[in-house]
A = this chain, B = another copy of it.
Amino acid sequence: MKVNVAMLGMGNVATGVYKTILKNKEIIKHRDDVEFNITKILVRSLDKERDTLIPQEILINDINDILNDDSIDLVVELMGNVEPTLDYVSSLLKKGVSVVSANKDMISQHWPKLESCAKEGNSGLYYEASVGGGIPVIKTFLDSLQSNNIEKLSAIINGTTNYILTKMSEEGLSFEEVLKSAQEKGLAEPDPISDVEGHDAKYKLSILSSLAFHSKIPVSKIYCEGITDIKVDDIMYGNEFGYIIKLLAIGKRSGDDIEVRVHPAFIPERHPLSSVRDAYNAIFVEGDAVGKLMLYGRGAGASPTASAIISDMIIASQTVSHKYTTFRNIDKPSKQINFMDNWLGEYYIRLTVTDQPGVLARVATIFAKHNISLESLVQKSKGQDEVPIIFITHTAHEKDIMNALDEMKDTNAIVDVASLIRVER
């Protein structure tokens, strides 16, 4: 079966898709007898120098050449951004042309609209590549975990921050040092804000948690904290307690109560997520039937992303009905969900205090007043004017912790509330 394909965009990932389709033509054809014939590629500039494999004559720069071409069976959208992409994709879906996309910004913010366009046109939107690169996480939620109530998902879904935290942990370098060298190596963007502040992970968590909990989880409801304030000292102290630091995207559900949050977290070194190093991604899921499940792999890069996109292309080509695409009948609007912000968790807290009698008693009193009990406490040095003390709490409410820390900030003998890092198990 020959499938005529148009591509929107011809950047790094799109070039990877094009090359993989050429190189692995036989294996793509082997199982499902699908042959992709790329007939048009929408680009911004027709004159830009490109990989010599890309034939100049299929490049176009007017979207109408694709919208008005009835010979096109399938569109692969890799131009990114929300505008004008959303308009293009909506028009295609309404017209009955299925779209494969890796555009997490567009999908996380506009999937209800995209879904209704797809229903109108009886087409499908496929987006395996929007989260976790080559990791088949979307299909796992849509196809393999259908009989499960998903209780929790914890994901490392930003490669840049995982690379930075791995280097900080293993080489004792500061955030700034690692970021600089990652930028030099092309492992971090020149403008790293979206990655290091957790926004990229937040978009992806919106998609994953909407799928996991069968509910619309808007990006705006996700608590988000990045890794820019993480200090090497805390990574090392955490290590002594048997913890590894990761930027986690967490979704938890209990009935209609849902908490969704992106923040740095300490996890036990024996947790499977601890072994996810460098730029790798992993999604750890807990379901009531399946138990604990983890998917691990390369979350970015032209070639792994191409693997996910082509798998979607094959499925989209072979499917008579597209009813199982997009988010599949999510009928719980976000107003029916109780978005939690007063989570229960454990906490790593580092204070800087003056080294004098009675200080610890005052700190302990404040903790007790806010219903916080302590699992352990370590004072790291002695005999200096100011010393660090590290506390690991038992399970406590987020708001109690914040109130306790506010009170400590106003306490004379406590010089500084230096760090707060959540502990996940």
Chain A: residues with CB nearer than 8 A to chain B?
20-21, 24, 27-28, 30-32, 128, 134-136, 139-140, 143-149, 214, 270, 272, 274-277, 280, 287-298, 301, 303-304, 306-308, 310-311, 314-315, 318, 320-321, 324, 328-329
A293 and B135: CB pair below 8 A? yes
New A-B contacts (16) at CB < 8 Å, excluding given A136-B145, A290-B307, A293-B296: A24-B147, A24-B149, A28-B146, A30-B329, A31-B214, A134-B289, A134-B291, A134-B293, A139-B144, A145-B307, A280-B292, A289-B307, A289-B310, A291-B303, A292-B298, A294-B296
Q: Of B147, B270, B298, B307, which is within 8 A of A147 by CB?
A: B307
Q: Chain B residues near A304 (CB, 8 Å)? A: 289-291
Q: Chain B residues near A310 (CB, 8 Å)? A: 146-147, 289
Cα A58 to Cα B280 with chains together (Å): 50
Query: How near does chain B come to A291, taking the closest CB pair, in angstroms?
Result: 4
Most buried by B among A128, A139, A311, A321: A311
Q: Of B146, B277, B280, which is within 8 A of A32 by CB?
A: B146
Cα A21 to Cα B295 with chains together (Å): 25
Q: Chain B residues near A24 (CB, 8 Å)? A: 147-149, 288-289
Q: Chain B residues near A148 (CB, 8 Å)? A: 24, 27, 307
Cα A152 to Cα B274 with chains together (Å): 24
Cα A303 to Cα B310 with chains together (Å): 33
